[in-house]
Amino acid sequence: MQLFIITGGPGAGKTTLIDFLKSKGFSTVPESARSVIKDQVRINGDGVPWKNKYLYARLMFKESLEAYHEISDTCSDRIIFFDRGLPDTLCYMNMENIPVSEEFSKTIKKTIYNKKVFILPPWDKIYENDTERKQSWDEAVLTYDRMKETYMDLGYDVVTVPTGTVEGRFDFILKHICLC
């Protein structure tokens, strides 16, 4: 399977790396969490983590699953990078003590990405809050730890991408997927 996830805690450089991969000609899928927040803020909706965490998680799950199916149904041979995957929503739900339904758990297990998942560690040099990212540094570190644990529990091979330039991170990933 050529669907690779890039994950990690907030503010670790995932979106910057995804944008760089896109600029180099790779197909990418943007993070659902940010688009859910932007859409909900635009319509003054409740599906944001600071209002209704359950609704927010459901919207993230729905958008992530739709993106997965759209891509996996049409692009079987191309390499595609996802800015987070469905297991990220599972991690969020577990961290926030949101009940995980049996249907959700089954869907996560049936939704197959490449077994190699790239995780970006917390990096205080680049971490900053913005309108969608309101977590503290400590929350970002905890999210990273829990994200790594979630993917490993699901049987993924979690590869830590070292901090450094976006070019260096790009090269690191290419070496790990044998495209150098």
pLDDT in tens, 157-176: 999 999 999 999 999 999 99
100 Cβ contact list (under 8 Å, min separation 6): 90, 93, 94
Asked if residue 54 belongs to a domain, the reply is: no
67 in a domain, yes or no?
no
Q: One-letter amino acid identity for 7?
A: T
User: Which pLDDT does position 162 carry in this prediction?
Assistant: 96
Let me know if residue 115 belongs to a domain.
yes
CB within 8 Å of 33: residues ≥ 6 apart: 60, 84, 88, 132
Q: Is residue 62 part of a domain?
A: no
Q: Is the pLDDT of residue 140 over 80?
A: no
Q: What global pTM score does this model have? A: 0.89
By residue range, what is the domain housing residue 112? 3-31+75-176
* Residue 58 domain flag: no
Higher pLDDT, 158 or 33: 158
Q: Distance of alpha carbon 31 from its chain centroid, rounded?
A: 6
* Strand partners of residue 7: 119
Q: Is-contact 9 122, C-beta < 8 A? A: yes
Cβ atoms 115, 156 nearer than 8 A: yes
In a domain, 87, yes or no: yes
Q: What is the pLDDT of residues 80-138, one digit of tens each?
A: 999 999 999 999 999 999 999 999 999 998 998 999 999 999 877 766 665 555 667 67
| CATH of residue 106 | 3.40.50.300
Q: Is residue 46 part of a domain?
A: no
The predicted pLDDT at position 132 comes to 53
CB–CB of 95/140 below 8 Å? Answer: no
Total domains present in the chain = 1
Report percent pLDDT > 90 for the chain.
Answer: 66
The string of pLDDT tens digits covering residues 46-74 is: 999 889 999 999 999 999 999 999 888 77
Q: Is residue 43 part of a domain?
A: no
